[in-house]
Amino acid sequence: MSKHQWFDELQKVITIGTLKVDEPLCKYTMTKLGGVADLLVIPGTMEETEATVRYAHEREIPLLLLGNGSNMVVRDGGVRGIVLHLAKLDTIRIEGTKVHAEAGALIIDVSKQAVAASLTGIEFACGIPGSIGGAMAMNAGAYGGEIKDIIIQATVLTQSGERLVLSKDELELGYRQSIIAKEGYYVLSADFQLAVGDQEAIDAKVADLTYQRESKQPLEYPSAGSVFKRPPGYFAGKLIQDCGLQGKGHGGAEVSLKHAGFIINKNNATASDYIQTINMVKAEVKKQFGVDLELEVKIVGEE
């Protein structure tokens, strides 16, 4: 079957969402990198998402969940098969101290709405540049907080399209890991438990965290965020800094002068530039400190 046949068949079920053949993924990634997707599917409802997952599974078509594209590097050759982008599943609903958010909602937006409702517990997420789906998959965290601190449950699809509701324990959330990532589940929505807080104190905490983020992270350039996981007993950024790698890179990609844990697309980089810079950093840190840096970002697609 060809991508045009996939398009024709999925058009019968994707009526609210959008289908695009040979769509450049650089338009959807935070790094502004990546070749074309054979077929990009942007479902308009959870039912359309289920239908797409089942369709791909039944026909053995490779399926990649893109999310917000904030923690992913797409190679220059693009992605064969179907890419699923859940940007239209972005409903956020607050009921008392509980927050329900669909997978495509940005975690920053969820945090903002919770803060506006005088709810505390999710301030740590006020600067995390990802979707709820991605945040769930990697148990996103910052400034001493993480998703597992506030999660009640998540609704996911298995790779065959079966819908499951997983409790906090069933999600197996650890440092940048979850059952979602392990099993390749697709998040549909998540429910969080927050608490009523003092508005002044909440606002002050958000302002402080926002200042820390903006003053220390190279937000003026496209990037995949923090590239490496924290190695046991070390900080990735400190190791990279101590190797003297800031300002170095390949092509248009460079280790940030502002935060060594970030690799930026400084000057029209290609994905190849970005990946070569990642590999250079890993090799140098291993050489100088004997530490194997593990990627926090996911590298996908064809060379």
For the annotated catalytic residues, the residue numbers are 176, 226, 296
Instruction: Give the DSSP per-residue string, 27-63.
Output: GTSTT----EEEEEEE-SSHHHHHHHHHHHHHTT--E
Closest CA to 150 of 190, 199, 94: 190
- Distance from C-alpha of 44 to C-alpha of 117, rounded to nearest angstrom: 27
Contact 68, 129 (CB under 8 A): yes
- Give 121's DSSP letter: S
- Distance from C-alpha of 145 to C-alpha of 139, rounded to nearest angstrom: 10
Per residue in 223-233, is it b (16+ CB within 10 Å) or e — as a string? bbbbbbbbeee
Cα-based distances in Å from 227 to 189, 275, 277: 26, 11, 11
Q: Is 167 exposed, middle or buried (0-12, 13-18, 19+ CB in 10 A)?
A: exposed
